[in-house]
Structure 1
């Protein structure tokens, strides 16, 4: 009895505090689920081109190389077609972003307000817009949410309804306010327990990447990975011209990051499939120092199991790993924390009111 009361208090007070942050994360995440479709619809002149599938990888790389050679030192990043973006975007050292046609390099325009809005929305989702410590506030609340808040709620539900599951997921609509409020809280809590658990677990990954990867390494003994033949190897000396004139055999280039100071090198990010679809997210990354020497190369096909699992945290978090239905589930689930917070707050109010009436 005493243990149950402790669990109940943990659930109550974490819900009243951590629940606010979970609500903000849930609502901003739900909005961001449809970011690709919304931004592409609002910015067709910047993000869409006719028959993108007919433009070869060689053409995309050639256009990127031409854009780089024409502007060189002023270029900070180049993003090739990926997800909703079918064009090439260049971010300059002055933070200005311009979009170019992937086939002929014609300038299409600069970043719009709607694109910037979703970038800011993602920043709020991940950091609350608070520099430096914001990501730890969000990541910490996500850990508390899935380790204590959800599990304590599951324990309380199981203790009460383990012999009557039907009653545990049923909402009686014709009840007094207090009972109806409780029914909504316990029913939505148990029905969305697993989606919320996965979303919170995968969301905390983006704050505690190092710890997650160390934990995932426990699974590296489960299977052996057969290395694939790579175009380049550690210690090779390359230049950007070579990489853009020789497409990778297995992956599509999606981004190039150029050094901005003496401590940085070149970074090339690749993806198996350029556009959104269900299934595993397969990536590759190549890093060069400022002299063009290969200092790091990773690939999904040859990575250990721990790295392969880590690569799935984003598609799991946003639901894309299971396709359109998964994204709908994540979208709906994003509204559940705020409903649970409101109903929990009302339940707390009703309980206090009952105590005061007795007094």
Structure 2
């Protein structure tokens, strides 16, 4: 008579976690692969641009800087029929006059020497390599209202895969624990692939969770508001809104341009040794407010101090949203502000970017190694070994 191996009783919880892990992995796999690879490309965007784009730098000189409106006028001639969004100063770097309009759908940067007024580069960001990759990473090169929900949903699935993978990976005993932390490089390819999926997946879990969750904050407003609500102890997040000047004021200055120059000069005088970046937003009409943003650490974004002023009276306008004075921000405000810096690893400087790069690279490999495990198991089921025979 034949002898069959006893059937092991399945752990129902782990079984269903495994099924969800499998099918959500198959559904989101291509998107995770895409996000991981594009994330790797974007990890060192600033460092690569600074290396190959020499026009970004202008040596600091003992000369007076041209005012924002002067640089804007020069840039306007180089790029006519567009509205300047901001003028950015940073010691040692060329001043950037940014032209951006969401409705008209254009984005240009004019690089102007802040001492001589010479135009060094007019850059159409629609043709910029990294900008193209960003549009894919954020929107899959589709309209934002279509592409962003698709990729953010895939990111949400990836977050579940990380958690469920940790549950499936968790060793039952000390003996099993030793095997779960090491990739056996000399083993057969199936075992090697299995280790690459499980062991490397474990090592990146916590870093990848930060990357995935921060991606969800950017992609889903409901998730961003939920994170804010939890981190603030039940407060509602105030959404950013446009700030306006008082057009009914009798005490009006001659032009909004003159007002922007005055405020910029005042900021420079208050802190002449400031080494960070200063953005000056010149309003397009008499309704807009002047925004000046000072960032003490231009390698990140979350510490920027945003100030708003009435262009007619120069009176400061207080705002309720989280993109106001840095000194007034709460813990929850800071958490949302630093979300992008967390996402790309910049929150921890260059080491953080390196970690984010390798975490993204390994995350991109997870769908590939996962599919190979699944295919291997299907083949094994299709060709079962013969049962052991005993003498009757």
The one of 276, 281, 287 aligned to 2:299: 276
Following superposition, the deviation at residue 74 of structure 1 comes to 3.7
Please, which of 42, 61, 64 is the counterpart of residue 68 of structure 2? 64
- Unaligned ranges ≥5, structure 2: 1-10, 235-242, 386-392
Shift in Å at residue 152 of structure 1?
A: 0.4
With over 3 angstroms needed to count, the CA separation of the structure-2 counterparts of 1:73 and 1:246, relative to structure 1, is farther
CA-CA distance at 1:13 after TM superposition: 1.2
Give the corresponding residue for 2:240. none
- Provide the secondary structure at the position in 2 that maps to 1:87: strand
The CA deviation at 1:194 is: 0.8
Mapped to 1, the partners of 2:379 and 2:45 lie a distance apart of 43
Gaps of 5+ in 1: 223-231
User: Which residue, out of 205, 208, 212, partners 1:193?
Assistant: 205
Contact 1:28-1:121 within 8 A present in 2 as well: yes
Verify the 8 A CA contact 1:26 1:334 in the aligned structure 2: yes
The aligned counterpart of 1:35 is 45
Name the residue aligned to 2:169. Answer: 157
CA displacement 1:132-152 (0-9 Å, x = unmatched): 211111112112211x11110
Are positions 1:318 and 2:344 aligned together? yes
**Pairing partner for 2:332 from 292, 298, 306:** 306
The alpha-carbon distance between structure 1 residues 347 and 161, as it changes in their structure 2 partners (threshold 3 A), is farther
Alignment correspondent of 1:331: 357
The answer on whether the counterparts of 2:171 and 2:177 sit within 8 Å (CA) in structure 1 is no
1:244 corresponds to: 261
Distance (whole Å) between structure 1 residues aligned to residue 218 and residue 292 of structure 2: 18
The structure-2 alpha-carbon separation of the partners of 1:281 and 1:97, relative to structure 1 and needing over 3 Å to count, comes to closer
1:82-112: CA deviation from partner (whole Å, max 9, x where unpaired)? 6996432342778454221122321112117
RMSD: 3.7
**Alignment of 1:296 onto 2:305:** no
> Which residue does the alignment assign to 1:44?
54
Matches within 5 A, 1:54-133: 59=65, 62-69=66-73, 71=76, 74-81=82-89, 86-91=94-99, 95=106, 96-111=108-123, 116-131=128-143, 132-133=145-146
Q: Quick check: 197-206 or 241-250, which moved more?
A: 241-250
Q: Deviation per CA, 1:32-57, whole angstroms, max 9, x where unpaired?
A: 11111212222212x11113xx679x
CA shift for structure 1 position 162: 6.8
Helix, strand or coil at the partner of 2:209: helix
- Which of 130, 142, 163 lines up with 2:155 in the alignment? 142
TM-score, structure 1 length as denominator?
Answer: 0.81
Correspondence for 2:374: 348
Q: Is the 8 A contact 1:48 1:86 kept in 2?
A: yes
- TM-score, normalization by structure 2: 0.75
Q: Report if aligned partners of 2:94, 2:112 keep a CA contact under 8 Å in 1.
A: no
1:241 Cα shift? 2.9
Question: Over residues 156-212 of structure 1, what are the superposed CA-to-partner deviations in whole Å (9 max), with x where a residue is unaligned?
Answer: 011546764331111112222221111111111101111111100111111124531
Q: Does 1:6 align with 2:16?
A: yes
Q: Which moved more, 1:100-109 or 1:346-355?
A: 100-109
| Cα deviation 1:233-268 (Å, max 9, x = unaligned) | 9979784532432244588532527559x9x94563
Larger radius of gyration: 2
Q: How many correspondences in the alignment?
A: 340
CA distance 1:318–1:325, shift in 2 (3 Å) = same
Tell me what 2:239 maps to.
Answer: none
Q: Name the SS for the 1:133 alignment partner.
A: helix
Q: Deviations over 1:21-76 (max 9, x none)?
A: 1111111111111111212222212x11113xx679x83xx432213356497423
Name the CA distance, whole Å, in 2 between partners of 1:188 and 1:55: 53
